[in-house]
Amino acid sequence: MLLKGTALAYSLYPEPWLRPHCDTDLLVAESERKNAATLLLRIGYTPLLEVESEYLGSQKSYSKVVQGVRCSYDLHWQISNNNRQFSSKFADSNLLTAAINIPALGKHARTLSRVDSLIYACFHRAGHFSHSGDRLIWLYDIHLLCQTLTEQETKAFCSKAKQLEITALCADAIVVAQSWFNTILQKELAALLREKAETETFTSLLQPGGRQVGIKNHALLELKGLPTWRERLRFLFQNAFPPPEFMLWRYGKKEKSALPLLYLKRFAEAISIFLKR
């Protein structure tokens, strides 16, 4: 299934070139992850070194130069790299059944329904808010999606936002998009904006404060969503002490002798982040 920029360019915008994107996001079932990776390697795509770990990353990037142009794919086996709990709940909400075709990209190309695309766009924006702030291209996606929803789809969107406990995130995204593009909202969406949902699970994603605050809030949400202390400890360990090859790549080093200092640096960074208010 196609996600984000490429999917929206060919299914939402009047012309695909109106929605630029630097890569193509593909979502596969976790059980098909190795098969998809093998296929990309077979047709000449090279993987970017990204750590593959249960609690550290749920995507891998591949690229290839085709006729002088670099083509890149992000292979996802979890719909959002921002939170496992949200991804699990969202994936269980009939995404595949509701998916729509993208005829311009071939008979097998599919993407999220309009309702699910808007849910995803709002959460994706919140997930990157502390790092990237607001990006107009994402807000315009949200604006267009709001404009294209039917009355029935609008009701389904509001219902699903409440079910997933992201009403506040969705309302915030739509308000900001409307302030930029004068989005015309159906009455159900307008009512959603007036609701107060400060106690929802994911509202901390919109907390200002920069990258370190964002990392801390993401980590705390992940820890809160894990059912046992054993899993929480495994999450902390995997994030504090990733595999050696990732550490060398992450910090731009080649000599393995640098690893002890790199791990010490990463551990100190983690302590600093968690102590940050």
- In angstroms, the Cα distances linking 151 to 139, 165, 261 are 21, 21, 58
For residues 125 and 120, give the distance between their C-alpha atoms in angstroms, rounded to a whole number: 8
Tokens representing 246?
A: 């990732």
Cα(223)–Cα(41) distance, integer angstroms: 34
The pLDDT value given to residue 36: 94
pLDDT for res 240: 83
Helix, strand or coil, per DSSP, at residue 166? coil
User: Using CA atoms, how far apart are residues 113 and 123, in angstroms rounded to an integer?
Assistant: 15
**How high does pLDDT run on average in the chain?**
88
Whole-angstrom Cα distance, residue 74 to residue 61?
Answer: 4
**DSSP per residue, 204-249:** GGG--S-HHHHHHHHHHHHHHH-SSHHHHHHHHHHHHS--HHHHHH
- Give the pLDDT score at 55: 72
pLDDT in tens, 195-227: 766 667 788 888 777 777 788 888 888 888 888
**Cα 160 to Cα 244: distance, rounded to the nearest angstrom:** 41
Instruction: Give dist(CA 224, CA 247) in Å, integer.
Output: 26
What is the structure's pLDDT at 52? 66
Query: Which range (64-73, 81-90, 160-169, 174-183) has the least confidence?
Result: 81-90
What six digits make up the tokens of 27?
């979502």
d(Cα 237, Cα 219) in Å, to the nearest integer? 12
Q: How many helices (H) and strands (E) does the chain have?
A: 14, 7
**pLDDT tens by residue, 229-270:** 998 998 888 888 888 888 888 888 888 999 999 999 998 888
Residue 161 has a pLDDT of: 92
| pLDDT, tens digit (0-9, with 9 covering 90-100), for 43-93 | 999 988 766 667 777 888 999 999 998 999 999 988 887 788 888 888 877
Q: Determine the pLDDT at residue 271.
A: 85
| pTM given for the model | 0.88
User: Does residue 102 or residue 251 have the better pLDDT?
Assistant: 102
List the chain domain ranges. 1-110, 113-208, 209-275
